[in-house]
Amino acid sequence: MNYQNDKKSIILPIAVAVSLVLGIFLGATFFGKKTFISNAGGTSSVFKEVLMHINKSYVDEVNIDSLSQYGIEKMLEKLDPHTAFLPPQDAELASADLHNGFDGIGVEFNIFNDSLFVVSPLVGGPSEAIGIKTGDIILKADTVNLTGKNLNSNVVFKSLRGPRNSIVKLTIKRKGTKNLLSFNVKRDKIPTYSIDAAYMMPDKKTGYIKVNRFAETTYDEFKAHLGSLKSKGMTQLMIDLRGNPGGYMDRATDMVDELVGGNDVIVYTKGKDRSNNYEVKASKSGIFEKGKIVVLVDEGSASASEIVSGALQDFDRATIVGRRTFGKGLVQAPIQLSDGSELRLTISRYYIPSGRSIQKPYELGKSEDYMEDMHNRYASKELFVKDSIKSNQKLKFKTKGGRTVYGGGGVTPDVFVPQDTSYYTGYLVDMFAKNIFREYSLNYTVQNTAKLQAMGFDTYLKNFQVDDKMLSDMKAIGAKNQVKFSEKDYQKSKEFIKTHVKALIARNVWKNNEKSGLTNEFYQIINQDDSMIKIGMSKF
């Protein structure tokens, strides 16, 4: 069985619960839909018999579907931490952001004060075409109320997404307009992007590319941006994979292939069933096989991100900067079940060029211990002190150039950068949790868009300052939303707040000038004070 060119060879979540806010899980690897012939027919029959008797004769009414799902989930808890069962609705949402778009109305939204705000209509989408604007409040979708304490992302998705060409009637409140507005929006395909930023750094020779996941279009996006940056004079490249949970594995190997020469193995897999064993070799002539590369990673870089960073490290092609990655090296196959649900079954392990597995240790049936790993890293000071990283001395491997690297638990960076918590306070967390910064930035944008656009981004980047009045207004909004003010915390977080709000305003003002999904302006501001980027730049 050859999966090398299977576009559904992907890396998906470690958890069953769908993250509706982020849209994707923390990654785990799996391949295209598969059907396995079961040899457990007898046990299956007994399971069905038990459910049948419960349904027919149990003294109280019970939900058989819910009971069956519970039984499946408890059974899978006895296996590895990445084997999972997804009910139909969760399976659909889990994969939506990895596909090349979804059907909907095309808005970026924000839930604030139990209300649904339009952050921006997406360029080329149906909402933009019909006249929905930044700052609009969506009160209803058809007859569904989109206000109140029960409002959440799941309710929004169910109301605004739907079959292409179907129509949803939106009731909207617009600032400065006395009467409510009504829009009939015809849903359409909404493109999704997996590269957040691609721009030239101030030194005019370093290209920066931020990849948020490995989705269906990631490689095509990456190749296009790589070529564009090269045409602008890029001679060295920084790839930012921090917080990237994974995605389609063949997009990751294609990315590596674009950066390395020769025909060496990029990744290979081994499992009990030999049909699940395969290897991917470098095969194409890449457009950036020369020139220095720095890759940024952290504890949130998982799966496909670890294939990219680990393979480039094993080939001695890039300097890896940051903190030890998540440690996900198990391969899952998604098995579609008759009711639309999915079983994601671990079928093999993958290995990067040096022969090492980056899967961190686990015990069957002890997923809770496995999930405690991040807490343990924090408690052991690993996120802050390089010497706290404990490499398994029994799992030594050699890079192509003869350097020692370690398997058995993520990709350890060549250059360690501690987590920066200097600005991290309870006040800041509360302001973020209640969406104060985003809400303030949205309001400021609505009131000042024309002036800021006339200024131009280059002038904004150089001269605009979040002043004391703006900070005072933000604090006031926080107070109205029961954010407890602390002067000590505020002073500690103040500079971060100023930078973050400046970046959010820039994102709101200039995002729609880009038709490629990029938010370069946001990252050009936020990255100025990023310690990992500063250290990464020093390693070219």
pLDDT in tens, 427-485: 998 898 788 998 899 889 989 999 999 999 999 999 999 999 999 999 999 999 999 99
My answer on whether 267 and 399 are in the same domain is yes
- Of 390, 416, 442, which residue constitutes the final position of a domain? 416
Predicted local distance difference test score (pLDDT) of residue 101: 66
Predicted local distance difference test score (pLDDT) of residue 28: 39
* Arithmetic mean of pLDDT over the chain: 86
Confidence of residue 45 (pLDDT cuts 50, 70, 90): confident
Please count the structural domains in the chain. 3
How distant, in Å, are the alpha carbons of 88, 107, 339 from that of 55? 22, 44, 19
pLDDT in tens, 244-272: 988 888 999 999 999 999 999 999 999 98
In a domain, 79, yes or no: no
In a domain, 56, yes or no: no
My answer on whether 201 and 182 are in the same domain is no
My answer on whether 170 and 273 are in the same domain is no
Predicted local distance difference test score (pLDDT) of residue 514: 53
pLDDT in tens, 49-65: 888 888 888 898 989 88
Distance CA 56, CA 49 (A): 11
Least reliable range by pLDDT among 91-100, 420-429, 483-492: 91-100
In a domain, 310, yes or no: yes
Distance CA 20, CA 504 (A): 21
Predicted local distance difference test score (pLDDT) of residue 113: 78
pLDDT in tens, 96-120: 656 666 788 988 787 877 889 887 7
- Percent helix, percent strand, percent coil in the chain, to nearest 5: 35, 20, 45
Q: Is residue 269 a contact partner of residue 276, using CB atoms and an 8 Å limit?
A: yes
Residues recorded for the chain? 540
In this structure, what DSSP letter does residue 386 have?
G
My answer on whether 185 and 199 are in the same domain is no
My answer on whether 438 and 503 are in the same domain is yes
My answer on whether 178 and 213 are in the same domain is no
**406 vs 339, which has greater pLDDT?**
406
- Of 139, 165, 190, which residue constitutes the final position of a domain? 190
In a domain, 278, yes or no: yes
Distance CA 236, CA 522 (A): 22
Predicted local distance difference test score (pLDDT) of residue 408: 87
Distance CA 495, CA 434 (A): 19
How distant, in Å, are the alpha carbons of 61, 91, 439 from that of 13? 34, 11, 30
Residue 31 has pLDDT above 70, yes or no: no
My answer on whether 278 and 403 are in the same domain is yes
pLDDT in tens, 284-338: 999 999 999 999 999 989 999 999 999 999 999 999 999 999 999 988 888 888 8
Distance CA 400, CA 315 (A): 5
Confidence of residue 342 (pLDDT cuts 50, 70, 90): confident
* Section 52-80 average pLDDT: 88
In a domain, 33, yes or no: no
Structural domain of 515: 426-535
Dihedral, CA of residue 299, residue 300, residue 303 and residue 307, to nearest 10: -60
Amino acid of residue 270: K
My answer on whether 306 and 159 are in the same domain is no
The pair of structure tokens assigned to 344 is 């994601």
pLDDT in tens, 160-172: 988 889 999 999 9
Q: Is residue 460 a contact partner of residue 506, using CB atoms and an 8 Å limit?
A: yes
Confidence of residue 136 (pLDDT cuts 50, 70, 90): confident
Task: State the burial class of residue 533 (Cβ atoms within 10 Å of its Cβ: 0-12, 13-18, 19+).
Answer: buried
In a domain, 374, yes or no: yes
My answer on whether 209 and 176 are in the same domain is no
Q: In this structure, what CATH number is given to the domain that contains residue 162?
A: 2.30.42.10
Residue 426 has pLDDT above 70, yes or no: yes
My answer on whether 354 and 387 are in the same domain is yes
Predicted local distance difference test score (pLDDT) of residue 123: 66
My answer on whether 411 and 441 are in the same domain is no
